[in-house]
Structure 1
Amino acid sequence: MASSSLLCITLLSLALFHNCFAQIEQMPLRSRQQMQQRKQQQRWQTECRLDRLNALQPSRRVESEAGISEYWDLENEDELQCAGVSAVRHTIHRRGLLLPFFTNAPDLTYIIQGMYSRGIQGAVIPGCPETYESGQSQQSQRSQQQHQKVREIREGDIVAAPAGVAQWFYNNGDSPLVLVSFVDVGNQANQLDLTARRFHLGGNPQKDQRTEQEMRLQSRSRRSEKGAGERRNPNGNIFSGFDVKILAESFNIDTELARKLQSKNDRRERIVRVRDELQILSPSRIHEEERRHEYRRGYDYEEYNGMEETFCTLRMRHNIDRPSRADIFNPRGGRLTTVNSFNLPILRFLQLTAERGVLYKNAIMAPHFNLNSHSVIYITRGSGRCQIVDDFGRNVFDGEVQMGQLLVVPQNYAVVKQASSRGFEWIAVKTNDNAMRNPLAGRISAMRAMPEDLLANVFRISREQARNLKNNREEVTIFSTQSSQQGREY
């Protein structure tokens, strides 16, 4: 009797423990989901009252000693204000160095032009160790070269940087290094305002800052905001605003060296030419190690359980141009590749997704809409026709977009793209770390998922016509046309 009572008590205790443990196990998941929902809710609420969209050219251009910077300023364009994203294209000449800077919002950079091992990117992550050092030496540690990790970059790479993380780019090749950067000022990480603010850690980009200030003042004047008449001259990098003696004390250096930190007589702007070559630690086998890391499982991507990467060792680079990594491929139409938080985990912190599209001659990307993000598209090659439709069924854009232009597609607006005879390629940044797309035509489309009789009644057509509407296009997202099947000529 006693033993049976003891057995009952034991079984009851185990059941209670299992139930409590299950609830404890579920709490972190619920907390993560609630945190994710809060993050989504904290995104800047921007106005998207857009009766007409435009293909955008850069609004200002600044020449430096060793390159050119061209800006799409959010303040000048209603489309960019709606998306909460600004952009800049840098052309960095041979031995050109884009000086260290950080932004008030996450930054996603795409390398448009630059052969492998022809560019270097560095990012300074606060609190992380200097893992690159010149090796054992009999000399003191101060005489050894040490710095945080640098990354070799090439054409097709996506490089991610969180808000406040300083980064720099260097061209160690013979041809220009061209990159386009998107700054997501609508992101919850930005607690200032809907302006892309670049904080410089070196140099004296007076011309760059003056043109930016003029643009902001004009924008405020148009909106009749308070303070539109206020004006203070730009002062250069962030050290310029500090007292020289305080700088000298802070770094334990003399005042002459502290004045050089302020760079007030520097006229080279944001991209400067390095004398000789930039002397940094960059292991010759670094790309081999990264390649082994990426292909360790024999695939072009890995599955992550959240423990493989700490913040200091997060991968910040991912090549999006490799055809073998395409998510959708049509040999007669083109390919589509997506990089999100699943294959580049740092994007989970940045709340961004990148999309690379390649359409062959006259091919079409299915009419679709983005469920949970805005899309900012930069055309990297060729040209194509785009049509965008708003919630009133109005055509708010219908025109050709060409290489070097920017186009914004607001959330849920329907869009269709068709390549010209030269083909059509783009890179798009979307404002969600797992941006989702809903095609309206093709094998996995919304129309395909609806019952035939429903379509027949909605459009007042026969069931046979409804069946054709559903099933005539068997391709997925990327469609070939009669002319595109004749060849990939571009």
Structure 2
Amino acid sequence: MAKSSVLILSLCILAFTHRCLSYDPSTDPELQGRRRECELRRISTQQPIRKEVSEAGVTEFWDQFNEQFESAGVAIIRHTIESRGLLLPSYTNAPRLAYISRGRGVIGVMAPGCPETYQSQEESQKGSGQRFRDQHQKIGHYRQGDLIALPAGVAHWCYNDGDEPLVALVFFDTSNDANQLDSNYRRFSLAGNPQEGQRRIVSRKGQEEGSGNNIFGGFDTRILAEAFGVSIETARKLQNPEDQRGHIVRVEGGLEMLSPTLSREQQGREYRRGPNVNGLEETICSSRLIETLADPTRADVYTSQAGRLSSLNSYTLPILEFLQLSVEHGRLYKNAMMAPHCNLNAHSVIYGLRGSARVQIVSERGQAVFDDVLREGDLVIAPQNFALVKQAENQGFEWVAFKTNANAMISTLAGKTSVMRGLPLDVIANAYQISREEASSLKYNREEVTLLAPTYRSSGRSAAA
């Protein structure tokens, strides 16, 4: 009996082992479906596919169901807010980064559990003591070239207090662990309602889901009135189903709010960028959410004949550790190049701000999946580990890139710190079947680190700074 039991057990183990060893993942339909989502054989530039028009601005949406966005697990929108336009309070299901490509404004962030640290006072009518006229959570000023970081679920509003339109490119990491919903970008409006016929929500299956209201619109009016301790009429105004202004509204006469002077706040931001800051003293309530990115004086890499490169990560902006995101800003001069490189641990969403550049992206098969000119307003996604190169055209090129890691790293393929520089000469010579002299040229001809100045071959003459 014991022998037969051992025999049966042995046969079971043998059958299980054979199944494991003979299992071919390429034949698994579920894995094949998953793999196909990221088998990007051709990458193309992306433009917004629809827009939502409001009273004082426009929001444009890129196609989040495009396979490139789905593979990277990201979504992109662009707000254009007119002067004195107010982007009504809302929150989203994913962490987001907003780059201000034009204009200036004010942002207010309502973080749960944080105190109302902005307070104003006036004497009471009786003259006995003081009372608060208004109090709210802190607000921040931003301007062209600034980056704003916001956690998932944290509500915010924005106001354009300048004289020109405000343009903000907003990146959402929908695959972030902070998003426990599906991979779709979702905006939860606290005020306002989408305009009928102007806002269309399209599902993954291509079905139109129709318009929606702000989140208070779904509650019973009496419950709202009791919850806020207000009248039924006031509760109805909170829901306001007749509001057709959209989610960007015009503030006649300008917006009045309690705020420190812009110059003091700017000085404070400059001070916090000092060498003694390590971010440990920051909490969610007091954390720095706005940082100047495009300022030439904060460049991490600068080559007088090639351009400059700046980055923000969890070390320079601690809130990014919480969001698990980072960002890169670069400017290339005429015919200059950012050395061929790959992003080791992140996808990179590249948006053209000004000028144009030829961009090539190469897959693991050595095939150019993208080879085109990236211009102002164009967007392209470089998947993790795909090789990438940018070469500016005659007007130069400026870009911003959002990356899906708090400390995104690149590995250059040419230049002083490149993979090629780390190889012995004989390895290079034998790998490419070239002479040692040619191998030495490959290894040492470029002394720049990341940004490569144009050569006589590319520009026909020496480039000016």
**TM-score bracket for the superposition, by shorter chain length:** 0.7 to 0.9
Distance (whole Å) between structure 1 residues aligned to residue 135 and residue 384 of structure 2:
45
The correspondence for 2:438, drawn from 465, 475, 481, is: 465
1:220 is displaced (CA, Å) by 1.4
CA-CA distance at 1:137 after TM superposition: 2.9
The separation in 2 between residues aligned to 1:111 and 1:232, in whole angstroms, is 31
The match for 2:106 is: 120
Cα drift, residue 235 of structure 1: 3.0
**Cα drift, residue 144 of structure 1:** 1.0
- Which residues of 2 match residues 327-476 of structure 1 at below 5 A? 327-476=300-449
Counterpart residue number, 1:294: 270
8 A contact 1:206–1:236 mirrored in 2: no
Return the offset for 1:138. Answer: 2.4
Structure-2 separation of matches of 1:342 and 1:303: 12
Residue type of the alignment partner of 1:295: Y
Q: Is 1:237 equivalent to 2:222 in the alignment?
A: no
Task: Give runs of aligned pairs for residues 212-361 of structure 1, distance below 5 A.
Answer: 212=201, 215-216=202-203, 219-221=204-206, 233-284=210-261, 286-295=262-271, 300-361=273-334
Q: Which position in structure 2 is the counterpart of 1:79?
A: 68
Task: Give a deviation string over 1:292-336, Cα, whole Å, max 9, x none.
Answer: 45336xxx5445445311110000000001111111001101000
Identity of aligned residues (%): 51
Number of matched pairs: 425
CA offsets per residue over residues 118-155 of structure 1, 9 Å max, x none?
Answer: 41011110000001111353269876111110101101
Distance 1:97 1:177 in 2: 11
Q: Which is richer in helix?
A: 1
Tell me the residue number matched to 1:173. 162
**Alignment partner, residue 49 of structure 2:** 59
Q: CA deviation at 1:233?
A: 4.3
Q: Is the 8 A contact 1:113 1:155 kept in 2?
A: yes
Looking at structure 2, the residues matched to 303 and 83 of structure 1 have their Cα atoms a distance apart, in angstroms, of 35
Any stretches of 5+ residues in structure 2 without a counterpart? 1-33
> Which residue identity is paired with 2:111?
I
The amino acid of 1:370's aligned partner reads: N
Cα distance in 2 for residues equivalent to 1:281 and 1:46: 52
Asked if residue 108 in structure 1 is aligned to residue 90 in structure 2, the reply is no
TM-score (norm 2): 0.88
Alignment check: 8 A CA contact 1:294 1:302 kept: no
Aligned residues: CA RMSD = 2.0
Distance 1:176 1:361 in 2: 28
Contact 1:109 1:180 in 2 (8 A): yes
TM-score when normalising by structure 1 = 0.83
Contact 1:373/1:411 (8 A) holds in 2: yes
Per-residue deviation, 1:345: 0.2
Match of 1:69 in 2: 59
Match 2:39 to one of 49, 56, 68 = 49
Quote the offset at 1:463 in angstroms: 1.2
Contact 2:75 2:172 in 1 (8 A): yes
- Aligned-partner residue type, residue 133 of structure 1: Q
Q: Is the 8 A contact 1:137 1:144 kept in 2?
A: no
Unaligned runs of 5+ in 1: 1-43, 222-227
Q: Alpha carbons of 1:393 and 1:188: their partners in 2 closer, same or farther (altered >3 Å)?
A: same
Q: Does the aligned pair in 2 maintain the 1:102–1:199 contact within 8 Å?
A: yes
Matches of 2:323 and 2:398, distance apart in 1 = 24
Distance in 1 of aligned mates of 2:231 and 2:122: 30
TM superposition shift of 1:485 = 3.7
